[in-house]
Structure 1
Amino acid sequence: MKTEIKTPLAFRKYPSTTALQCFETAARHLSFTNAAQEMHMTQSAVSKQVSQLEEMLNLSLFYRTHQRISLTPAGKAYYIEVLGILKHIELATTNLMSHSSNTEILKIVAHPTFCSRWLIPALKGFSKEYPLITLDIKEEVCPFFPEDQNVDIAFLYGDGVWGGMETIKLFDEYCVAVCQPEYLQDKSLCLDNLDAFTLLQLSSRPSAWYEYFKQQNISVDGTFRGPRFDTFHACIASALLGYGIALVPLRLVEPELKLGTLVTVWNYESKGRGAYYMSYPLSLGNSHKVKAISEWITESMA
């Protein structure tokens, strides 16, 4: 009987973190001298590290002239990759150093506006109640659960149906048209002349204003015109500065409406097509940290 002999994996040569740091710093400054000052090394030491990296890669990362250096196409592509690698190492190291061995990190993703205006206030007191759970909150414009990322729980807007996910409905969305009080001065609220108003648009919902009026059985032109923004936060900020009228979820502008810095233009709340949900993978259903935040949010809603 023959015994199968497994050949060990061939040795893989990787660049040192020092070489990568020297390359990243030199590429950022486009100067070995400035890189040396930041790295607290000599200029020749930084240059040598980069040269050894180029020898290992068998590629030129920089064009070198008497006056300056510049990145080659390969150098530009490598710089982007190296920057991500070094940031990942830094994050992993600081996470490990800043938490004790019995601390759990709860990774959360949420839409930027929802995060700052609803989620963070709702989480007030959570860290005091659960000192061994560290919140790691990432803001992201995403209509679905980012499966390619290491996320424990997401706060999403949609229909509540995401494959392999447990979802808990938070609330429906109702949008209101709001603006700065001074914006309405010398303006008639009659919709016969919609051109008198600037309608602030959300890029991800180009037909929002059209649907707002359609729900009221009002037919008007010009609902698709107006400056476009990526987030509700930008729409709200623009409305506060008097740029025009924003159509935004009522829950996200309640503080401004109470203070009077924003007012509703027309007395109507349009129901959105979706709702806001708290969602997490089914595999994390028994996770202590996921249970903790689920209960916390549910209680805060009550």
Structure 2
Amino acid sequence: MKTDTNSSLDFRKYPSTKALQCFETAARHLSFTNAAQEMHMTQSAISKQVAQLEEVLNIALFYRTPQKISLTPAGKTYYLDVLDILKHIEIATTNLVSHNDNTEVLRIVSHPTFCSRWLIPALSGFDKAYPLINLEVKEQVGPFFSEDQNVDIAFLYGTGIWGGMEAIKLFDEYSVAVCHPDYLKDKETFSSGIANYTLLHLNSRLNAWYEYFEQQEVSVNNTFIGPRFDTFQACISAALLGYGLALVPLRLVERELQSGALVTAWDYAAKGRGSYYMTYPLSLGESHRIKVIINWISAYLET
């Protein structure tokens, strides 16, 4: 098998989807036999497809011995690329057959905790009111808008100023210190310091506890010490399990506070530096689906 990769690939000899599927399955199982069983083909047919693929690429993808096959370094790299390609084909095909010509797709992205605890309840009933708009909701820490992403609208926390974006303010943020009801037992009072408390931190807001106490004009040391988490959801879960005190937006823990699963450690709500916004590219300002979601969220806020 030649391994010269300098020759260009004839556009008429691009690998077929069938060949890529056979290669991916064989690479995943490291077995032509198991790949044949999964794809309902014969072993020789799988082997032939892979061999033809190697011929087209002019490079060996597998090491072959009488006992087993294994991926070459090039094969390992190609496998990851092919897997990504096949997943994109699957998603594109599924989207095409699930949406008819009369429907629109509204692609939404949001911070994970905000999405599950505020946005999803806010969108309840949207599908019935607008059956021709299909929602695609993605949870993401960030960034939300980039060249390789196809996003229509995002729900963000910040100052409301993003380049090329229109931002509509939803509400300000007020954060409270919460914990499991049993966590405060046998703890010293707040005035004596926080040495016996474990402060839970959000990675993106490591100054939050310092600012919380500063707003109250209380001098506290070691506010940066404690476990760190990527999302408010993880902080809330840790607090529910008695790990320590979580400083989280009040709107995101209303359910737990009402049920008594969490309690506020101190009677103070700290105003955040930013607010919550729904934002969309200026180029989509006249889009029907954008107007619909803005009206829906605005009506939800009024109720």
What is the TM-score with the length of structure 1 in the denominator? 0.92
Q: Is contact 2:107–2:152 with CA below 8 Å preserved after alignment? A: yes
Q: Is contact 2:199–2:227 with CA below 8 Å preserved after alignment? A: yes
Q: Cα offset for 1:81?
A: 1.5
Q: Determine helix, strand or coil for the equivalent of 2:205.
A: coil
Q: Cα offset for 1:118?
A: 0.4
Q: Is contact 2:201–2:226 with CA below 8 Å preserved after alignment? A: yes
Q: Which residue of 2 aligns with 1:89?
A: 89
Do structure 1's residue 44 and structure 2's residue 44 form an aligned pair? yes
- AA matched with 2:265: V
Q: Deviations over 1:57-87 (max 9, x none)?
A: 1222223333333322222222222111111
Alpha-carbon distance in 2 for matches of 1:247, 1:91: 38
Alignment of 1:96-135 (within 5 A): 96-135=96-135
Q: Cα offset for 1:188?
A: 2.1
- AA matched with 2:164: G
Q: Determine helix, strand or coil for the equivalent of 2:206.
A: coil
Q: Deviations over 1:246-271 (max 9, x none)?
A: 11111111111111101111111111
Alignment of 1:221-236 (within 5 A): 221-236=221-236
Q: Determine helix, strand or coil for the equivalent of 1:118.
A: helix
Q: Compared with structure 1, are the counterparts of its residues 174 and 146 closer, same or farther at alpha carbon in structure 2 (3 Å cutoff)?
A: farther
Q: Is contact 2:179–2:263 with CA below 8 Å preserved after alignment? A: yes
Q: Cα offset for 1:143?
A: 5.1
Range that drifts further, 95-104 or 62-71 = 62-71
Alignment of 1:48-197 (within 5 A): 48-142=48-142, 144-197=144-197
Q: Which residue of 2 aligns with 1:205?
A: 205
Q: Which residue of 1 aligns with 2:289?
A: 289
Q: Is contact 1:191–1:220 with CA below 8 Å preserved after alignment? A: no
Q: Cα offset for 1:44?
A: 2.0
Q: Which residue of 2 aligns with 1:4?
A: none
Q: Is contact 2:109–2:144 with CA below 8 Å preserved after alignment? A: no
- AA matched with 2:220: V
Q: Cα offset for 1:144?
A: 4.5
Q: Compared with structure 1, are the counterparts of its residues 66 and 192 closer, same or farther at alpha carbon in structure 2 (3 Å cutoff)?
A: farther
Alpha-carbon distance in 1 for matches of 2:143, 2:98: 32
Q: Determine helix, strand or coil for the equivalent of 2:96.
A: helix
Q: Determine helix, strand or coil for the equivalent of 2:266.
A: coil
Alpha-carbon distance in 2 for matches of 1:233, 1:189: 27
- AA matched with 2:276: Y
Aligned identity (percent) is: 72
Q: Determine helix, strand or coil for the equivalent of 2:194.
A: helix
- AA matched with 1:117: R
Q: Cα offset for 1:16?
A: 0.8
Q: Which residue of 1 aligns with 2:249?
A: 249
Unaligned runs of 5+ in 1: 1-9
Alpha-carbon distance in 2 for matches of 1:12, 1:200: 58
Alpha-carbon distance in 1 for matches of 2:222, 2:79: 46
Q: Is contact 1:179–1:262 with CA below 8 Å preserved after alignment? A: yes
Alpha-carbon distance in 1 for matches of 2:30, 2:207: 46
Q: Which residue of 2 aligns with 1:21?
A: 21
Alpha-carbon distance in 1 for matches of 2:68, 2:205: 47
Q: Compared with structure 1, are the counterparts of its residues 146 and 110 closer, same or farther at alpha carbon in structure 2 (3 Å cutoff)?
A: farther
Q: Determine helix, strand or coil for the equivalent of 2:176.
A: strand
Range that drifts further, 238-247 or 55-64 = 55-64
Alpha-carbon distance in 1 for matches of 2:147, 2:211: 31
What is the TM-score with the length of structure 2 in the denominator? 0.92
State the superposition RMSD in angstroms. 1.6
Q: Determine helix, strand or coil for the equivalent of 2:161.
A: coil
Do structure 1's residue 270 and structure 2's residue 270 form an aligned pair? yes
Q: Determine helix, strand or coil for the equivalent of 2:34.
A: helix
Unaligned runs of 5+ in 2: 1-9
Q: Deviations over 1:163-211 (max 9, x none)?
A: 1111101111111111111111221233534231111111111221112
Alpha-carbon distance in 2 for matches of 1:134, 1:127: 7
- AA matched with 2:197: F
Alpha-carbon distance in 2 for matches of 1:163, 1:236: 32
Q: Determine helix, strand or coil for the equivalent of 2:295.
A: helix
- AA matched with 1:106: L
